[in-house]
């Protein structure tokens, strides 16, 4: 059933002796496939999609992917605006997500999965700087730089290739004790040269990224400015240089070329969105281990006027006060926020959560319901409302609301996690196994997902319509499993 461990051992036995006696990887010269080759000759879109799902499974196992709806919504919105501005991205699927670590970096994985570390969002001084890095990563995807780099791994199964790609990409950014097995690290080192972006790749991603920035209305000088600032920081703190400099080597020539490209377009100043500042404040508040530390920080910056945006700083202060259970002070800060921006989603959510904490569940739901009546497809408000319903013990209503949201966002792991909880608490065992199956499937665990659907069908008193849907989904996953075995089993 599982030949991947055996495959790892075979690879390790072949690679370990060579690696132990090899020169450092950075001193070797490696050839990438011919860039003029057909993209589909490297890897078909379907195969890349499967590899992307398997890659994302590895990412979720190894890194703390943020499932905060407000934070996820912002990074998705910014990423989507850049995708719409890039003509090469038309017809491609992208998934943007945040990682809850103070690392100053971002990466593009197969299948259009683009991860952005919280540390990068906090390091960016303007929204255009953050957009510059994301546009750069989008260009890596559209130009299929990564896929050309893993062409030689096409002889391996998709799960094995995904494991090696994840180890190589993530191993360059996180410590060696981040959950990677030692043998995987060795294998990843062997293919690091194949998936590293070459200087030409980086230049191409910069060039296309700057054009995308301009079409999206951002400052074209942001890319060069951010790179230069990171480079100076790396020189000052050489022992702790930003991870971005290691995975995206920045040279003076590269900065000069980015500046030259920006001069072609000319300066286009753009004010940062309020959501950019609110997102940074929310991330900064989360970064403190103890609520008292966050309260002290935001209290000091507000007193001393050390902030980029007053509303965002006050929002961070209110979040810290809420976490510290100083509800009275939090309500006073919230009142100022709502007076300035009464319909801002971040403030509406904060108001509802504060009402819930203060023992006013009806008021919490009423506020969210009012906002949803104006924006019925706002998945963030809908998700928060469903979560509050669950906390109030109203699992059946939460389940109904979440099922509606899942139709809008069928690939949202967080929603299926909530659906599983709601079904379990409402006593619907068939739905519990059904939604657990969908969550497992999205995480890349196909066989366990099939087992959960089989268990769901064995439950008693399943309505005919639900049973038919579960059976149809089970048939589809079984067919996918058969196809995957035929495609991916390298041993026949």
Highest mean pLDDT among 52-56, 148-152, 237-241: 52-56
Binding residues: 136, 140, 202
Contact 243, 115 (CB under 8 A): no
Tokens found for residue 196: 């590293």
Average pLDDT, the chain: 84
Domain residue limits, the chain: 4-23+43-265, 279-333, 334-488
Q: Print the SS3 string covering 466-482.
A: HHHHHHHHHHHHHHHHH
Give the confidence band of 149 by pLDDT, cuts at 50, 70, 90. low
pLDDT, tens digit (0-9, with 9 covering 90-100), for 397-418: 999 999 999 999 999 999 999 9
Q: Sheet containing 95-99: which strands, arranged edge to edge?
A: 95-99, 113-117, 106-109
Query: What are the tokens at 400?
Result: 């109904």
**Of 101, 127, 206, 272, catalytic:** 206
CA–CA distance, 187 with 231 (Å, rounded to integer): 30
The partner residues of 125 in beta bridges, in order of sequence, read none
Q: Strand (E) positions, 246-365?
A: none
**Per-residue pLDDT tens over the stretch 245-258:** 777 878 888 899 99
Distance CA 4, CA 11 (A): 10
What is the rounded distance in angstroms from the CA atom of residue 49 to the CA atom of residue 109?
Answer: 11
Residues facing 117 on adjacent strands: 99
66 pLDDT above the threshold of 80? yes
Angle between helices 4-20 and 182-195 (to 10 degrees): 70
pLDDT category at 276 given cuts 50, 70, 90 is: very high
Instruction: Give me 211's structure tokens.
Output: 């054009």
State yes or no: pLDDT of 11 exceeds 70: no
**Pick among 3.40.50.300, 1.25.40.10, 3.10.580.10, 3.40.50.1950: CATH of 334-488:** 1.25.40.10
pLDDT digits 0-9 by tens, 361-384: 999 999 999 999 999 989 999 999
**Rounded distance, CA 90 to CA 74, Å?**
21
Q: Which tops the pLDDT comparison, 355 or 54?
A: 355
How many angstroms separate the CA atoms of 426 and 435, rounded? 13
CA distances from 77 to 74, 94, 99, 143, 438 (A): 5, 12, 16, 22, 24
Q: Quick one: pLDDT band at residue 24, thresholds 50, 70, 90?
A: very low
- What is the number of other CB atoms lying within 10 angstroms of the CB of residue 68? 16
431-466, pLDDT tens digit by residue? Answer: 999 999 999 998 888 999 999 999 999 999 899 999
CA 389 from centre of chain:
26
How far the first Cα of the chain sits from its last, in Å, is 12
Q: What angle do CA 135, 76, 121 make, to 5 degrees?
A: 65
Are the CB atoms for 42 and 144 separated by under 8 Å? yes
Measured CA to CA, the distance from residue 160 to residue 7 in angstroms comes to 8
- For the chain, the maximum distance between any two Cα atoms, rounded to a whole number of angstroms, is 69
DSSP 34-89: PTTS-HHHH--HHHHHHHHHHHHHHHHHHS-B---HHHHHHHHHHHHHHHHH-GGG
Quick check: 151 pLDDT over 90? no
Give catalytic status of residue 204 as yes or no.
no
Percentage of the chain lying above the pLDDT 90 cut: 64
Asked if residue 193 has pLDDT above 70, the reply is no
pLDDT band at 353, cuts 50/70/90?
very high
pLDDT attached to residue 173: 53
Strand-strand pairing, 95-99 and 113-117: parallel
pLDDT reported for residue 244: 80
**Cβ neighbours for 347, distance < 8 A, ≥ 6 positions apart:** 315, 334, 337, 338, 341
Is 206 a known active-site residue?
Answer: yes
- Report in angstroms the alpha-carbon separations of 90 from 38, 135, 484: 18, 14, 27
Residue ranges of the annotated binding site for Zn(2+) are 136, 140, 202
Per residue in 416-435, pLDDT tens?
999 999 999 999 999 999 99
Q: What letter does residue 23 receive in the DSSP assignment?
A: P
Long-range pairs of 403-409 with CB within 8 A, sequence gap ≥ 24: 405/379, 408/377, 408/379, 409/379
Q: Do residues 97 and 69 lie in contact, with contact meaning Cβ atoms separated by under 8 Å?
A: no
How much is the pLDDT for 40? Answer: 54
Asked if residue 403 lies in contact with residue 410, where contact means CB atoms within 8 angstroms, the answer is: no
Considering the entire predicted model, what is its pTM?
A: 0.84
- For 80-119, the pLDDT digits (tens) are 999 999 999 999 999 999 999 999 999 998 889 999 999 9
Strand-pairing partners, residue 325, are none
Q: So what's the pLDDT on residue 197?
A: 53
Q: Is the pLDDT of residue 71 over 90?
A: yes
Confidence tier at 243 by pLDDT (50, 70, 90):
confident
Q: Where would I find the beta strands (DSSP E) of 86-205?
A: 95-99, 106-109, 113-117
Measured CA distances, 241 to 237, 246, 408, 492 (Å) = 6, 8, 41, 46
- Residues constituting the chain: 492
Token pair belonging to 450: 């099939």
Which of 75, 180, 49 is closest to 130 using CA atoms?
Answer: 75
Catalytic residue among 137, 204, 219, 333: 137
Placement of tokens 């609301």 in the chain = 401
Angle at 218 between CA 216 and CA 221, to 5 degrees: 135
Higher per-residue pLDDT: 35 or 194? 194
Q: What is the structure's pLDDT at 132?
A: 97
């Amino acid at each position: 059933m599982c030949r991947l461990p055996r495959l790892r051992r075979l690879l390790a036995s072949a690679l370990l002796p060579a690696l132990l006696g090899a020169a450092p990887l950075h001193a070797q010269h490696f050839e990438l496939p011919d860039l003029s080759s057909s993209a589909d000759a490297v890897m078909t879109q379907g195969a890349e999609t499967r590899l992307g799902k398997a890659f994302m499974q590895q990412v979720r196992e190894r890194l703390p992917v943020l499932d905060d709806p407000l934070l996820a919504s912002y990074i998705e919105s910014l990423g989507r605006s850049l995708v719409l501005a890039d003509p090469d991205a038309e017809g491609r699927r992208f998934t943007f997500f945040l990682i809850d670590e103070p690392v100053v970096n971002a990466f593009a994985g197969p299948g259009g999965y683009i991860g952005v570390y919280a540390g990068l969002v906090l390091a960016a001084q303007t929204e255009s700087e953050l957009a510059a890095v994301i546009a750069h990563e989008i260009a890596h995807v559209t130009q299929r730089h990564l896929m050309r780099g893993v062409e030689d791994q096409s002889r391996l199964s998709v799960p094995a290739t995904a494991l090696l790609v994840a180890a190589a990409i993530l191993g360059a950014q996180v410590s060696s004790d981040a959950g990677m097995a030692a043998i995987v690290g060795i294998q990843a080192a062997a293919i690091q040269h194949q998936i590293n972006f070459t200087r030409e790749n980086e230049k191409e991603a910069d060039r296309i990224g700057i054009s995308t920035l301009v079409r999206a209305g951002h400052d074209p000088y942001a890319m060069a400015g951010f790179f230069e600032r990171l480079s100076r920081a790396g020189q000052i703190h050489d022992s702790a240089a930003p991870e971005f400099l290691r995975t995206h080597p920045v040279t003076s020539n590269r900065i000069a070329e980015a500046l030259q490209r920006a001069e072609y377009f000319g300066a286009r100043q753009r004010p940062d969105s309020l959501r950019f500042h609110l997102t940074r404040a929310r991330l900064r508040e989360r970064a403190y281990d103890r609520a008292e530390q966050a309260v002290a920080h935001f209290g000091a910056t507000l007193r001393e006027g050390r902030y980029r945006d007053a509303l965002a700083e006050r929002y961070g202060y209110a979040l810290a006060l809420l976490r510290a259970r100083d509800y009275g002070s939090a309500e006073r800060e919230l009142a100022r926020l709502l007076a300035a921006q009464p319909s801002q989603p971040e403030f509406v959510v904060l108001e509802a959560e504060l009402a819930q904490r203060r023992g006013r569940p009806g008021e919490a739901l009423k506020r969210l319901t009012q906002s949803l009546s104006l924006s019925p497809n706002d998945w963030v408000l809908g998700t928060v409302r469903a979560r509050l319903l669950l906390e109030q013990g109203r699992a059946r209503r939460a389940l109904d609301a979440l099922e509606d949201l899942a139709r809008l966002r069928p690939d949202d792991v967080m929603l299926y996690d909530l659906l599983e909880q709601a079904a379990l608490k409402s006593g619907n065992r068939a739905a519990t196994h059904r939604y657990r199956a969908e969550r497992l499937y999205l995480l890349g665990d196909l066989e366990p997902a099939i087992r959960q659907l089989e268990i769901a069908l064995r439950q008693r008193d399943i309505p005919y319509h639900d049973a038919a849907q579960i059976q149809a989904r089970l048939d589809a996953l079984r067919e996918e499993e058969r196809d995957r075995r035929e495609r991916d089993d390298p041993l026949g």
